[in-house]
Amino acid sequence: MSGIGVVICIAIAASAALGVYLRLRQMATVAAHRDSVPVDFARDVTLDEHRRAADYTIARTKFSIVEKVFDAAFSILWLAFLLAPLYAAIASFIEPGLTRSVVTVLAFGFIGDLMDMPFSAAKAFWLEERFGFNRLTPARFLADEAKTSALELAITAPSLFAMFALLRATPQTWWLMAYVAFMALMIAMTILYPTLIAPLFNKFAPLDEGVLKRRMEALLAKCGFESKGLFVMDASKRSTHGNAYFSGFGKAKRIVFFDTLLEKHSPDEIESILAHELGHFKFGHVRQMLLQGAALAFLGFAALWWAFGSDVFAGWFGLPSDPGLVLVALFLVKEPIAHVLSPLFAWRSRRAEFEADAFARDVVGKEPMISALTRLTRDNLATLTPDPLYASFYFSHPPVPVRVARLRMAS
C-alpha cells in the first residue's frame, strides 16, 4: 500500500473517531437531562416516559458506536489486507472479463451483508425488544433478509454487467451514458416501488371508509394533491413505531399510514401529520431531493470515470486495476467524505422539515401539529434533549423541542 493509501485508511479511522466522539457527547447530554422533563413538555410527558426515552437513546447510541467502530475497522481491513486475496481467489476460477469484475463486486456485497446481519438481528431482538418495540419473529427476519438480498442481486448484477460493458465499449464516454441509465432506473424504481416492491414486505389496504377518510380526502383536495389513494400498511407485524409517508412519483403517488400510527393518534393529529407530508409536496422537497441525488450521482460517476481510467487509484492500495475491484475500493473510501458533508445535507433536510411544519400549521393549525409531534416523540421514545452538535451531523429532522418552539412562536 502506498503512502496515499495509508493516509486514506487514517482518514477512515479519523472519521470513525469523530463519529464515536459525537455519540459520546449525545450520551452525556441525554444522561445529564434524564431526570428533568423540559418545561414545555412537563404537562404531556411524564418523568418516567422521559427517563425511558433517555435510556433508549443511550442504548441505541452505545449500539451505534459498536457498529461505527466495526464498519471502520472492516473497511480498513478490506483495503489493506482482504480485497487482494478475495480478487485472487475469484481470479483463480474465472477468466479475465466482465464476469470476473461483476463477481468481485457481488462477493464483496455478499460478505458485507453476512457481516451486517448479526447487527440487524441484535438491533431487532435485543435493543428494540428490550424497549417493547420489536414484533419481528426470527422467521420473518430471515425472510426479509432473503427477499432483500434477492432484490439486490436482481437489480445489481444486470446493472454491473451493463456498466462494465459500456466501460469496455466506450472508455471515454461510458460514464455519461451509465449516469443517464442510473437516473432512469432510480426514477423507475420510485414509480414501481409502491406497487411492486413494497408489497413484497408489507400488506397495504385502502383506508376504511368513514369520517377519517373523508377528512383526509378533503385535505388532499384543499392542497391540490392528486394520488392513487390512501393506504394503511401493516407495520405492526415488525414494530410498534408509528409513521406516515407518501411514495411514488407524478400521478402514481400514494399516501401510506402505518397502522400503529392510526391506533395511537387522534383524527386531528393524523390530519396534521398528513398536512406536514403534503407540505413537502407543496414546497417541492421531493423534487429538490431528486435533483440533489442526481448531482451527487453525477459526481460519483465522474469519480468512477477517473478511477477506472487510471491505475493510480488501485495502485494506492496495491490492487490490480480490475473495474470491479476499483468500484469496491471507491465505495470504501467515500465514507470520510460523506461524513464531513453530512452536516450540510442534514441542515438542508431540517430546513425542509421546518417548511413542512409551517405549511401544516397554516392548513390545520399549530395545536394539532404540536400534539402530534409530542405523541410521536413519547410513543417512539425519542429524546427531548439531544446534543446540538450530534444533531447537526445526524438529525434529518430538527429536534422536537425546536420544532414545537417554532410552532408556538408563530402568530
Is the whole model's pTM more than 0.85, yes or no?
yes
Residue 246 domain-assigned (yes or no): no
Using an 8 Å Cβ cutoff, are 358 and 279 in contact?
A: yes
Residue 200 and residue 214: Cα distance in Å, rounded? Answer: 29
Residue 29 domain-assigned (yes or no): yes
Residue 388 domain-assigned (yes or no): yes
Rg for the chain (alpha carbons), in Å? 23
Give bridge partners of residue 257 from the DSSP assignment.
Answer: 232, 244
Residue 381 and residue 51: Cα distance in Å, rounded? Answer: 9
Can you tell me which residue has the cell 428494540?
128
The total number of structural domains that make up the chain: 1
Residue 250 and residue 227: Cα distance in Å, rounded? Answer: 8
Can you tell me which residue has the cell 393524523?
270
Residue 247 domain-assigned (yes or no): no
Residue 266 domain-assigned (yes or no): no
Say whether pLDDT at 243 is over 90: no
Residue 269 and residue 367: Cα distance in Å, rounded? Answer: 9
Residue 331 domain-assigned (yes or no): yes
In which band, very low, low, confident or very high, does the pLDDT at 76 lie, cut at 50, 70 and 90? very high
Residue-averaged pLDDT of the chain: 94
**Nearest C-alpha neighbor of 387 from the set 91, 1, 33, 10:** 33
Residue 291 and residue 285: Cα distance in Å, rounded? Answer: 10
Domain membership of residue 86 as a residue range = 3-200+283-409
pLDDT of residue 254: 82
Cell of 43: 404537562
| Choice among 105-119, 239-253, 336-350, 388-402 with the minimum mean pLDDT | 239-253
Instruction: For 2-54, write each residue's pLDDT tens digit.
Output: 899 999 999 999 999 999 999 999 999 999 999 999 998 999 999 999 999 99
Residue 249 domain-assigned (yes or no): no
Residue 367 domain-assigned (yes or no): yes
- What is the full DSSP assignment across 80-101? IIIHHHHHHHHHTTS-SSHHHH
pLDDT of residue 379: 92
φ, ψ dihedrals at 396, nearest 5°: -80, -20
